[in-house]
Amino acid sequence: MRNRFLDERTARDIDTLVAKILRGLGGPEPPLVLDDVRALQKLDRQYYSSIDDGPLREFVSRAYIGAKQVFARPTLILEVVRKRSLKALYLPDRKRVLIDSSQPKLKWRWSEAHEIVHDGVPWHQDAMFGDTEYTLSPACHEQIEAEANYGAGRLLFFQDQFREFASGSEPTFELIKSATKRYGNTMTSTIWRLVEALDIPALGIVGSHPRGSADPNRPAQQCRYFIRSRTFIGRFGSVTEDAACAVLRAHSSFRRGGPIADGDVILVDDRGERQLFHLESFYNGHEALTIFVHRRPALVRMPVSGVGSQKNASIRARR
C-alpha cells in the first residue's frame, strides 16, 4: 500500500474536526487517551473475533442506509468481514466502534482512531457501513479510507505538534523510537507520520525481512507499505518500490533482530542526478522497518554496484 496526500481543502476540514476533539479534551499532553476521546464523542466500543461474532450479528440486523436495507442476506456482512479481514468497523446508528480483537493489541489503537474519524466526518456517515466495497466504488472507498487514516494520524500525533517535536532532531531511528514512546503509537505508524511530515525527500518501507525468510518455503521479500514524502514523490518519482527494495536488500544483514542496515546509499533523481540518502532498517522479529532520508547531492563519483540496474536504470546502490 502507498501513502497518498489529501487535497488541501479536505485535509483542512478533517483537521478542523481533530482540533475540535483535542480542544474538547482540554488540550491534553501525549499520549492520547482514546477512552477520553470516546467519552467526549459519546462513542461506545466493542470487540469482535472469529470466535465471538455476536457484535457483528447485531450489526447485520441493522445494516441500513437511510430506509434502505443494504444487505439482502443477513450473513453477508460476516462473510465480507472475514473475507476481507477487516480490522475494525463503525456502526453509525449505534455510535459504536467495533475492533477485531484477534489483531495484535498494539494495532487496536490505530483502528480505533480511524473509526473515530469516520464517526466525526459528516460526509462519511452515509458513505460507509462497515467499510465494505458493496456500498462504494473502489476509488471512493479508497478516498474515504485515506481520509480516515489521515485523521487518525493527525489525532494520535497531535496535529502539528509532532512535526515540531520531530524537527528538533535528525530524522533517524533514535527519533522514531523516542516519538513512539512519547505518542504511544506503533513504530510503523510513527514512521508513516514522520515520512509524511518531512519536507525533505524521504522514504519509508515496512515489509518482510529484506533477506527473505529463514524458511525457504516462505515467499521472498514483500513490501507492505511504501511511504513517500511529498518532495520524494516530486523529485524521485522514477524510484519504484521494487528498485528501493533492491537497494535495501543489498545493504541489509541477515540478522533476525534489531538493526539490519545503517549506511549511505545513492538514489538517482528524476533529472538523472545522484543523491545521497541515509538508510536505516530495523527488524522487530516480525517485519523490517526502514527509512531512507535525503542528505545531499553525491558530488564525488563513487563506484556503483549493479543493484537494480537490470530492472531500473534510474537507481544504483553503493556497497
Strand partners, 315: 267
Cell of 278: 541515509
Contact present, 113 and 155 (Cβ < 8 Å): yes
Beta strands in 84-142 (DSSP E): 88-91, 96-100
Question: Can you tell me which of 100, 112, 119, 131 binds Zn ion, judged by CB under 5 A?
Answer: 131
3-state secondary structure of 231: helix
H helix count then E strand count, the chain = 11, 10
Site for Zn ion in 164-203 (CB under 5 A): none
How many angstroms separate the CA atoms of 186 and 180, rounded?
Answer: 6
By the rule CB under 5 A, 119 interacts with Zn ion:
no
Q: Please count the residues of this chain forming the interface with Zn ion, following the rule CB under 5 A.
A: 2
With contacts defined by CB under 5 A, name the span among 45-53, 123-131, 242-250, 255-263 that binds Zn ion.
Answer: 123-131
Smallest gap from residue 114 Cβ to Zn ion (A): 6
By the rule CB under 5 A, 268 interacts with Zn ion:
no
Q: Which is nearer to Zn ion, 225 or 277 (CB)?
A: 225
Number of Cβ within 10 Å of residue 23's Cβ equals 10
259: nearest Cα among 236, 286, 238, 288: 288
Position with the least CB separation from Zn ion: 131
281: nearest Cα among 154, 195, 173, 190: 173
Sign of CA dihedral 311, 315, 318, 319: negative
With contacts defined by CB under 5 A, name the span among 38-46, 125-133, 213-221, 226-234 that binds Zn ion.
Answer: 125-133
Q: Which is nearer to Zn ion, 131 or 269 (CB)?
A: 131
Smallest gap from residue 117 Cβ to Zn ion (A): 8
282: nearest Cα among 153, 176, 165, 195: 176
Smallest gap from residue 97 Cβ to Zn ion (A): 11
Site for Zn ion in 138-167 (CB under 5 A): 148
Residue with cell 483542512: 12
Q: Which is nearer to Zn ion, 110 or 292 (CB)?
A: 110
By the rule CB under 5 A, 112 interacts with Zn ion:
no
By the rule CB under 5 A, 243 interacts with Zn ion:
no
Q: Which is nearer to Zn ion, 21 or 148 (CB)?
A: 148
Smallest gap from residue 49 Cβ to Zn ion (A): 19
Q: Which is nearer to Zn ion, 86 or 243 (CB)?
A: 86
Provide Rg for the chain, Cα atoms.
Answer: 21
By the rule CB under 5 A, 248 interacts with Zn ion:
no
Q: State the residues that interact with Zn ion by CB under 5 A.
A: 131, 148
